[in-house]
Structure formats: C-alpha cells, structure tokens
Structure 1
C-alpha cells in the first residue's frame, strides 16, 4: 500500500510540475511570430460613382465634382450633356474605393473593396458602384472594381426625428474587384530568405534560429538582429515552398516580452502584461475642487418716499474641498494579480491612474515600459 501511495504521489507531482511549466510558458508557431520579408500586400485606391440610390445621393449644388464626374463618364459612353445644364441629381454619389492587393495575386483573382462617400450623401444603401479603376502608388491600374454595395447600417427618419444604427456612408463589396495586373516579385530568385519578427526581441529571434537549426541542421538559420532571421533556403521553387511551410509550423516557447504598460489617453484605458512589477512605495491621491457660486440680490429703499434707487448686488461665494488625499502604502508586487489589487486599493479613476503610473515610473517604483497612445 505504501508503494502504491508513493507512486500515486509521484504521478501527482509530475502532473503538477507539467501544469506549472505549461502555465508559465506557451508554445507559439513561427508563422504567428514572424512574416516573410518582401511578401506583403499593396494598397490600391480609386475614385468612382455610385448610382441607384433612393434619393440619398450627393447634393450637386454643394458637390460640383459629382456632376463633373458624371458628365465625363457620359461623354465616354457617347452621350453629350449640353454645357450649362444644371443636373439636379439625387441618386448619384461620389466615392473613394480602397482595396489591398494580396501578395502573389494573379490576373483574374477577386479581392474585396471598401467604398466610402466623399460628398454629402445621406446613405449608400441600395447603390451600385460603376466600373472604377484601382491604382497603386506607381499610378498604374492593378484592378477594376464594380458591383452592388453591402451597407451594414440602417436608418429611418420622419417628422423631424431620425434614428440611425452604424454607418450608412461606408460599404463593402465582397470580391468586388478583379485583378488586372500582377505585382512582380523575386521570391523564387532570391538566394536568401529572411523572416521578420512582428516585435523586435533578441531572445525570440535566437529561439527561432535555434529551433530551425535543430530541425534542418546547423547554419540553416542565423539571427541577424532582434527582428530579422536569415534563412538558407533551397533554390528550387517547390522545395523552397515546402521548406517555408515546415519552418512556419515549428513551435517555440516565446515569453510575453518586455514588461509594458499601455495607456490610451483618449479612452482612459490602461493595459499591462504579466511581467509588470511594483516596488514598495507610498502614494497620496486626492482631488482638489474649487467651486465659485454667484447669486444676485435686489436691494430696495426702506420707505417708498426715501428717494433711494433699487439696485441689484452680486453675492459671490468661493468654497474649496479636498477629497481623499490619504497616503496609501503599496507593497512590492511581483505578479499581475498583486499589481492589480494594489492599484485598485487606491480607488483611483482610470484618468487618475495614468498620472499615478507616470509618477511611479519617475520614482523608480514601476518596473515596466510605459507607453502612451
């Protein structure tokens, strides 16, 4: 019985140790940590017209470029609009069309496009985008967009009241553009390939290099710096693709990186990772409120025949209140839960917490990189 109990205890200890190791480190695929240098998408942009709107298009008196664009389009179709014609359009809107051309796209591939109103149209719901050329940074046409718009917003109005849910002046067309020109890449001709880390980290770069060399042999991967890893890949295209597919599915135990506290001053949000540490410090936090109130009093003569005048005299009162301000002790905290509990005990609002964290960083009590967005 004692032997069985000892074996059961050893199994329990091994299981606990495995759970502890898995909770402190986690394996991630190399494809989630890196990207292949040079393999990227390209931004496309175009200007077009949306027709078929139900009276919610641009007001042409305030957006003359809509009328000009329509006249140019009609002239290309063989229709001449007499000069000086005042076209009162309600079903047409000028829009900007944007898209991303994925890497290795071929002629005939379909890509999604985003359509955004640039005039004063009330809604793009029910509209159809006319054929719009999409150009790259080199002013060359890489795709043509056309199709029916999908607007996720909804709205209604009547009797001076209006209700709207989400955005009505933005829409998408799934597969709304056809690729007409390919972006030339030298992926197969490059003698070396490079993996680029999403976030610079010397430790992760070395771990990825070691894991690739362990799988394919020494000198296959070399970490050039904290972001780039050089790969000696096969020269033949099929072998190179197979090599990259295997490399990207390898797993490494990557930590959480540097201790960081991210502060968003616009939304008041504070986010920190699990490596943030606090040293013992004392914090006094309180609000000073100054109120100035002013009332007016009417002063009249005591007797009607006294010959005095009725005057209005202001009465100003100033009060000062200091709320909180007690000195709070914060103990040394080495884990995230303790840090959160220590900060919550201060009872500070998110805006106050930003100032407290900045002061802690200046005093050397906060061991983390403080970033403000």
Structure 2
C-alpha cells in the first residue's frame, strides 16, 4: 500500500495552526495536585458456577467466614464455584473528601471463567503507605461474556473476567495536598521545554503586572519543566488566583525536530521542523526466487539400473526498477513528503529510508522508534 493517505495526513498537519495559543491548564499541572492509586484484594460472590476452586480462594473464603464467627474444620473442602478471588483498584482524585465515592475496577486473579452477575464483598483499598483510604463493595457490571460447549469448544466476547462498579468505593480518609503548604505554586509542564518555560513565566508576569526589570517578579522558571509562581496564602484568594491563572493563554515554543516511527503498526509521524542535508537516495527491491522440480529418471527396459529421483533447481533474480531522488539543503517536511510519495514507497520502505538518512548524518532531527 502506498503512502498516499499517510502523506495527505502529514501535509494536513503541516498546514494546521500549530502555533495557536493554548491555556495554561492544558499545558501544565499544579505540583502536589495529583491522584493516588489504591489497590485491594477481595472476593466476588454470587457467580453462576463460573468461579474457581483454587487454594488461595479457599483460604480467603475461610478467612471471610471466620470474620463472621464461622469456622470450618480443616478436613472440610467447601465447593465454592460461585466465588472468585479478585484484585480491586481505583484512582483517588485530589481534594476528595471522606464520604464521597469513586469508581473501582475489579479483575479476576485466578481461574474464574467470568465475573458476570457477581457481587464484590467489602474490600479495603490501600495506598502506597499501607493505610486504608476507601472501602469497595457492590454489584459488578461486566461487558464481556463467554460460552462453552460439552466438547470443549468455547467463545469469549470482550473480557468477562474484568468488571467495574460505578461509585463502588466509599472514601474513608483524605490525602493531604501540598496546595497550601508554601508561599508559591509550582506549575509543571506536561512536555518539558526550556523555551516554553520561559514563555510561560513571561506571560504570567506580563498579565499580572509584574516588572522583572525593577525586581518585581511573580513567576520564575526553575528548569525546563517547572515555573514557580508566588501565590496568596489565604485559601479563598489562592483558589481564585489559580482559577484566573490557569486560563491565561500563550503560544508554546515549537517542539524539537523529531520523527516517530511505530515499527509494529507502520505509523510514521514527521515533525514540521525536520530538515535534510544534501543527500541522494536510491531504493529498489531485489527478488530471488528458487524453485525445485522433482524428476524421475528410469533406465531402459533392456538395460540394467535403478529408478532414481533427481531435483532440478531454477534460480530467478528479479531487480525492480529503482528510482533516484535528490534532496537539496534544508528540505522541508512538505518537500520530503512529496518526494517519497512520487517514489511510491510503502511504510516499511520509508522507515528504511529515514534510518539510512540518520546513519548518513543527513537527517536533522531525532529519530524515535517505538
């Protein structure tokens, strides 16, 4: 398949308004205002025979019963095919308070065939520090399903071993935020760049009336990723200050020249600042075909001898037409796209050309293979 569609996409990206102003909230986040991951281990009950009979599930089941004052003799092997051991995880958003709810995802960690129709029993969700921050419980919503025949044939649609519970966890503990701990706020760029950090600081100083020439500075770039902003200490004023600040618009600096290649899907993205030094490229295909024909050699009826099988090999070499095209100094993305499109190269061919250009030192930009 030729690169016509890919190249049309790249050309459309080239002429798009890449330098449009963007809001601060879309390009940066406030340091200390972040989510926290929670995880827990629990049991899903009420399954229609799609559970499991594993040792750790049995142990968990016995522990759950002991919490209710029910003890089973060690010799008793309970049949618990309607129970499955699961891992439960969730994201604890910033500033969430005890009593509020969050969504949870429930995943089977054993041999359960499906969690469809199951109910998660009370499960503690812990943070990295080992403290319990939420408690999850509720009926699962599972999008997938599976069916199995008596002869062992089966069909599975989506993933029946993963479910979700909307508002399934009740927050029991709040996480302390660093939002009010200092006299300043730190804005962290999502894509670190020294030029963008400098532009961001200048924009804030200009919009808030600061005068760096007279020593009055509100925003100061710390490094390529962070800008420190002096903020009010009073809670209400700080919230209002940040609400105004995050809606300021500015034009970020242009990203570094980069070519990104996904070798698994054949996707190629070329940044607009990629340039080529003088280079000449030829790219052709060499096809070698080897065919072997079996032939039977049989002696004359009056002659003595044995019937033998011989192999005749045919080797054919086919060299496709190669095309040579030249790049002058400072070739732009548009010119590169047009030249490669004229050659009619496939995605794999373009990858080989770009890698060869980099090895030759003719590609001005980073080549990233993912």
Verify: 1:184 aligned to 2:182, yes or no: no
Instruction: Give aligned pairs, total.
Output: 349
Call closer, same or farther: CA 1:22–1:356 in 2, change over 3 Å.
closer
Aligned-pair distance for 1:247?
0.8
The residue aligned with 1:169 is 161
Aligned-pair distance for 1:154?
4.1
Separation of aligned partners in 2, 1:269 and 1:228: 32
1:70-104 Cα deviation digits (max 9, x unpaired): 12212222222332333343322222111111112
Aligned-pair distance for 1:286?
2.5
Call closer, same or farther: CA 1:180–1:282 in 2, change over 3 Å.
same
1:221-243 Cα deviation digits (max 9, x unpaired): 01112111011111111111111
Separation of aligned partners in 1, 2:345 and 2:16: 35
RMSD of the TM alignment (CA)? 2.6
Would the aligned equivalents of 1:26 and 1:255 in 2 still touch at CA under 8 Å? no
The residue aligned with 1:30 is 24
Greater relative contact order (Cα 8 A, min sep 6): structure 1 or 2?
2
Give the TM-score, by structure 2 length: 0.85
After TM superposition, the structure 1 = structure 2 runs for residues 31-180 of structure 1, keeping only pairs within 5 Å, are 31-58=25-52, 60=53, 63-158=54-149, 162-180=154-172
1:28-68 Cα deviation digits (max 9, x unpaired): 0001111111211111111112222222223x2xx322222
Give the TM-score, by structure 1 length: 0.84
Verify: 1:338 aligned to 2:340, yes or no: no
Call closer, same or farther: CA 1:135–1:209 in 2, change over 3 Å.
same
Aligned-pair distance for 1:264?
1.5
Aligned-pair distance for 1:370?
1.5
Separation of aligned partners in 2, 1:322 and 1:357: 22
Bigger shift: residues 225-234 or 155-164 = 155-164
Verify: 1:349 aligned to 2:346, yes or no: yes
1:167-198 Cα deviation digits (max 9, x unpaired): 22222212111111121223212122211111
Give the gaps of 5 or more residues in structure 1. 1-20
Would the aligned equivalents of 2:325 and 2:339 in 1 still touch at CA under 8 Å? no
Task: State the secondary structure of the residue aligned to 1:249.
Answer: coil
Would the aligned equivalents of 1:99 and 1:113 in 2 still touch at CA under 8 Å? yes
